[in-house]
Structure 1
Amino acid sequence: MLNYSFSVFYNRFKCFTFLIWFLCLVFTQMSNNDSLDVLNLPPRIYNPGFEPNIGAVVIQHFETHLVKKVELALGEEQFNLIKASFLGPIIELAKRSGVNFSGKIFHFLMQRRLLLKEKNLWFTFDSQPMRFSEREFLLTTGVQCDLIDSEMLRKGKAPSKAPYFWTQKEHFTLEQLQKRLFEPNQLHPLDAEEKLSLGMVILTEAFLFTPGSLEKIPLSRLVHASEFAIYTSQPWGKHAYRVLATSIQRINENTWARGTYEVKGFAMAILLWAFSAVPSLGSAFATECVTSRSEYPLCLKWETTQTPRFSHENKQTETREESCSPPDEDSHENVNDEKVAQEEGATDEVPHANEENDPQCSNVNDKVSQKKEKQHEEMRNMDGAPQGTQESDSQRSNVNDKVAQTKEAQHNKMGHSEEPSQESDSQQSKVNDKVCIS
Structure 2
Amino acid sequence: MAHQFPKRILQEGAETQMDKINNTCRRTLLKAVKVALKDEYEEVLKDPVFGPLLAIIENNLIYSGKIIHSFMCKQLRVSKLHELWFIFAKRPLRFSMQEFYAVTGLKYKEEPDVDFINWKNDKGFWANALKTNAKINLYTIRDELLKVCNEWSYVDRVRLVYLSIIQSFLMAKDWKVYIPQEYIRLVMDFEKLRMYPWGLRAYDELIASILRAREDVHTKNSYVLDGFSYAFQIWIMEAIPDIGSMVGK
Shorter-normalised TM-score: what interval? 0.7 to 0.9
Alignment of 1:150-165 (within 5 A): 160-162=120-122, 164-165=127-128
What is the CA–CA distance in structure 2 between the aligned matches of 1:81 and 1:239, rounded to whole Å?
A: 20
1:184 is paired with a residue whose SS is helix
The change in CA–CA distance for 1:261 and 1:170 in structure 2 (over 3 A counts) is farther
What is the CA–CA distance in structure 1 between the aligned matches of 2:102 and 2:152, rounded to whole Å?
A: 36
* Coordinate RMSD, CA, aligned: 2.8
1:223 is paired with a residue whose SS is helix
Contact 2:40-2:158 within 8 A present in 1 as well: no
- 1:173 is aligned to 2:137: yes
| Structure 1 runs of 4+ with >4 Å offset | 147-151
Q: CA deviation at 1:213?
A: 1.6
Q: CA deviation at 1:270?
A: 1.4
Q: CA deviation at 1:167?
A: 3.6
Q: CA deviation at 1:165?
A: 3.0
The change in CA–CA distance for 1:84 and 1:72 in structure 2 (over 3 A counts) is same
Task: Tell me which residue corresponds to 1:277.
Answer: 239
Contact 1:170-1:218 within 8 A present in 2 as well: no
2:187 is paired with a residue whose SS is coil
Stretch of structure 1 that moved more, 201-210 or 54-63: 54-63
Contact 1:170-1:217 within 8 A present in 2 as well: no
Give percent identity, aligned residues only: 24
- 1:60 is aligned to 2:20: no
Q: CA deviation at 1:203?
A: 1.3
Larger RCO (alpha carbons 8 Å, 6+ apart): 2
Q: CA deviation at 1:66?
A: 3.7
Task: Tell me which residue corresponds to 1:246.
Answer: 208
Q: CA deviation at 1:109?
A: 0.5
Contact 1:134-1:145 within 8 A present in 2 as well: yes
Q: Which runs of 5+ in 1 are unaligned?
A: 1-33, 152-158, 286-306, 310-438
Contact 2:138-2:167 within 8 A present in 1 as well: yes
Letter in 2 for 1:105: I
What is the CA–CA distance in structure 2 between the aligned matches of 1:261 and 1:210, rounded to whole Å?
A: 15
- 1:120 is aligned to 2:83: yes
Alignment of 1:187-226 (within 5 A): 189-226=151-188
The change in CA–CA distance for 1:253 and 1:183 in structure 2 (over 3 A counts) is same
Task: Render the CA deviation track for 1:269-319: whole Å, top value 9, x for unaligned.
Answer: 11111111124426x37xxxxxxxxxxxxxxxxxxxxx707xxxxxxxxxx
- 1:76 is aligned to 2:16: no
Q: Which runs of 5+ in 2 are unaligned?
A: none
Task: Render the CA deviation track for 1:5-29: whole Å, top value 9, x for unaligned.
Answer: xxxxxxxxxxxxxxxxxxxxxxxxx
Contact 1:181-1:195 within 8 A present in 2 as well: no
The change in CA–CA distance for 1:150 and 1:68 in structure 2 (over 3 A counts) is farther
Task: Tell me which residue corresponds to 2:190.
Answer: 228
Q: CA deviation at 1:177?
A: 3.1
Contact 2:137-2:178 within 8 A present in 1 as well: yes
What is the CA–CA distance in structure 2 between the aligned matches of 1:278 and 1:108, rounded to whole Å?
A: 12
Q: CA deviation at 1:85?
A: 3.3
Task: Tell me which residue corresponds to 1:182.
Answer: 146
What is the CA–CA distance in structure 1 between the aligned matches of 2:98 and 2:181, rounded to whole Å?
A: 26
Using the size of structure 1 for normalisation, the TM-score is 0.50
Task: Tell me which residue corresponds to 2:8.
Answer: 44
What is the CA–CA distance in structure 1 between the aligned matches of 2:13 and 2:232, rounded to whole Å?
A: 23
Task: Tell me which residue corresponds to 1:308.
Answer: 248
Instruction: Give the alignment partner of residue 90 of structure 1, picking from 53, 60, 76.
Output: 53
Letter in 1 for 2:148: P
Contact 1:208-1:266 within 8 A present in 2 as well: yes
What is the CA–CA distance in structure 2 between the aligned matches of 1:197 and 1:57, rounded to whole Å?
A: 33
What is the CA–CA distance in structure 1 between the aligned matches of 2:128 and 2:56, rounded to whole Å?
A: 32
Task: Render the CA deviation track for 1:219-250: whole Å, top value 9, x for unaligned.
Answer: 33333222222222211111111100000011
Using the size of structure 2 for normalisation, the TM-score is 0.83
The change in CA–CA distance for 1:230 and 1:183 in structure 2 (over 3 A counts) is same
Alignment of 1:297-376 (within 5 A): 308=248
Equivalenced residues, count: 241
Contact 2:40-2:161 within 8 A present in 1 as well: no
The change in CA–CA distance for 1:196 and 1:53 in structure 2 (over 3 A counts) is closer
Q: CA deviation at 1:150?
A: 8.6
Q: CA deviation at 1:53?
A: 4.0
Task: Tell me which residue corresponds to 1:369.
Answer: none
Contact 1:167-1:225 within 8 A present in 2 as well: no
Task: Tell me which residue corresponds to 1:139.
Answer: 102
Larger Rg: 1
1:164 is paired with a residue whose SS is helix
